[in-house]
Amino acid sequence: MTRHYTQEHEWIEVEGDQATVGITDYAQGQLGDITFVELPALGASLSKGASASVVDSVKAASDVYSPVGGTVSEVNPALEDQPELVNSDAEGEGWLWRMTLADSAELAGLMDDAAYRAFVDSL
Amino acid sequence: MSDMINDNLDEEAPETGTLPLDAWHRERGGRMVEFAGYWMPVQYAGEGGGIIAEHLWTRSHAGLFDVSHMGQLEISGEGVEAALEAVLPIDLTTLKPGRQRYSLLLDENGGVLDDLMLTNAAHHYYMVVNGATKWDDIAHLREHLPDAITLTLLDEAALLALQGPEAAQALGRLGLVPMNAGWPSVGDMTFMDSGPFLWGEVPLRVSRSGYTGEDGYEISVPAEHVAAFVEALCAHPEVRPIGLGARDSLRLEAGLPLYGHDLSPETGPVEAGLTFAINKRRKSEGGFPGAGRVLAELADGTPRQRVGLLLDGRQAAREGAAVFAENQEVGVVTSGGFSPSLERPIAMAYVDAAQSAAGTALSIEVRGKRLAATVTPLPFVPHRYHRKGAAA
């Protein structure tokens, strides 16, 4: 399994043509208390960079963009009652959706863990 | 993700000012954002930090807010009462020394230029205005007050708010002494009392007021002493520092309008539900800016009204969202967010008067979806002010 990151603070973990997407721990820290997550529809076709989900914090609503193109195969059912999982475990139990990749070549432009840490440190 | 780091987007705007407690907030883990021209803490890090935790702490204990961005003014001179009554819809004959009152700066059309607190400080008047509007307010007042009236910005004074059901016991332990013989102690003050005090050698102005809906105090402190004063307050277990984020969610639950959002030159006091700020004598006599419109609207009503909305579900509606009755657009949200106390989203909106009755079913458009909402009396969370004559 390989985990990639975007400059918009999403993470995507890939295994074969399946991937899990969430927002980074840095992102949840910046957003503060998360009160609602709007998830994409099962079967929805997402294109790379398209708004796929909305994370509502006490302060503001923020779009989450799909790191790559693909089809939504699962959404995190726990977030309906416990959106705060995105705060407590953004890069684990607070995952947002799973998808079948359309084109794994789209992963090429994403950051690896070290590059993302360096990117965050530069902010 | 979008919008998430907009806290940082305005960074390095060269004119952003620092307030006297800037270093103190940073040491306490305050996340500093640009607000009203100053760096201010939106929330604090660590245990007990975060908007929801800070909000709930204030509702159950005592929260300490730095509101030093607000403008503190002293107004004095021969004929000051008449001069102030010419610019505000207030009746100063009923504002006794040691008392504070909410008022409005109105333009000639009856639009709201600012909302403010005015205190009769015996030998002068003390006014607190919003931070983002203070320079415009000063220009407006200077233009409309006679030359004999002195207007002084207290820019060497910090302003704090201590809010919550345990505010009185915490402040009571600091041993503040009223400067005026016979004036009440901080514990004996009631809602909207205000007076000068000594904390040791340090002069303070303390009022029993605030903008969270809770009992509490607002305290003006000389800038050079404010760090020591907040340390003394935070030494008490009831008191924690609270950021701007919770200040906003607390005032929203309390149904209190925020200038620049729920109030603007495009809103009048009657549609805003602030008719209490037009004092009784002024309602009959007029003679304040915008009186023509305001008195007509008091008699005839307004086409729209500020209302509270309780939303179904968990998704919040924000400022600017359109409000619908069936498929007809009937208004706009001016403040909205998640209520930590009620654990559901709430909003304030201006809607057509015909749709403003409590219980009216409406919907709010958020990101292409319609969220169900019900008109609800304000405040959303009952006020707990320490009113004169009320049971303790």
Domains and CATH numbers, chain B: 6-69+156-253 (3.30.1360.120), 303-376 (2.40.30.110)
**Distance from the A9 Cα atom to the nearest Cα atom in chain B, whole angstroms:** 6
Give yes or no for residue B285 having a pLDDT over 80: yes
**Distance from the A54 Cα atom to the nearest Cα atom in chain B, whole angstroms:** 9
**Distance from the A113 Cα atom to the nearest Cα atom in chain B, whole angstroms:** 18
Task: From the options 1.10.760.10, 3.10.450.200, 3.40.50.300, 2.40.50.100, give the CATH code of A2-104.
Answer: 2.40.50.100
Q: What is the pLDDT of residues B155-209, one digit of tens each?
A: 999 999 999 999 999 999 999 999 999 999 999 999 999 999 999 999 999 999 9
Q: What is the pLDDT along chain A (123 residues), one digit of tens a residue?
A: 799 999 999 999 999 999 999 999 999 999 999 999 999 999 999 999 999 999 999 988 999 999 999 999 999 999 999 999 999 999 999 999 999 999 999 999 999 999 999 999 998
Reported as a pLDDT band with limits 50, 70 and 90, residue B389 is confident
Q: Considering all CA atoms of chain B, what is the largest pairwise distance in Å, rounded to the nearest integer?
A: 64
Q: What is the pLDDT of residues B293-325, one digit of tens each?
A: 999 999 999 999 999 999 999 999 999 999 999
A1 close to A14: Cβ distance less than 8 angstroms: yes
Pairing of strands B239-241, B62-66: parallel
Q: If you ran DSSP here, which 8-state letter would residue A68 be given?
A: S
- Among A27, A30, A35, the residue with its CB nearest the CB of B338 is A35
A121's CB contacts (< 8 A; 6+ apart) are none
Q: What is the pLDDT of residues B72-119, one digit of tens each?
A: 999 999 999 999 999 999 999 999 999 999 999 999 999 999 999 999
Interchain CB contact of A27 with B (< 8 Å): yes
The ranges assigned to domains in chain A are 2-104
Average pLDDT over residues B241-257: 98
ipTM of model: 0.87
A123–B367 C-beta distance less than 8 A: no
Please choose, from the candidates B174, B254, B240, the residue with its C-alpha nearest in 3D space to the C-alpha of residue B210.
B254
Task: State how far the Cα of B32 lies from the Cα of B44, in Å rounded to an integer.
Answer: 9
Residues of chain B in contact with residue A63, where contact means CB-CB under 8 angstroms, are 1-3
- Among A33, A58, A63, the residue with its CB nearest the CB of B1 is A63
Interface mutation vs chain A, best among B3, B4, B261, most A CBs within 10 Å:
B4
Q: What is the mean pLDDT of chain B?
A: 95
Encoded tokens for B328: 């007809």
Q: What confidence score (pLDDT) does residue B13 get?
A: 47
**Distance from the A26 Cα atom to the nearest Cα atom in chain B, whole angstroms:** 10
CA dihedral B360, B252, A81, A50 (to 10 degrees): 90
Global pTM reads 0.94
- Among A23, A33, A60, the residue with its CB nearest the CB of B3 is A60
A123–B1 C-beta distance less than 8 A: no
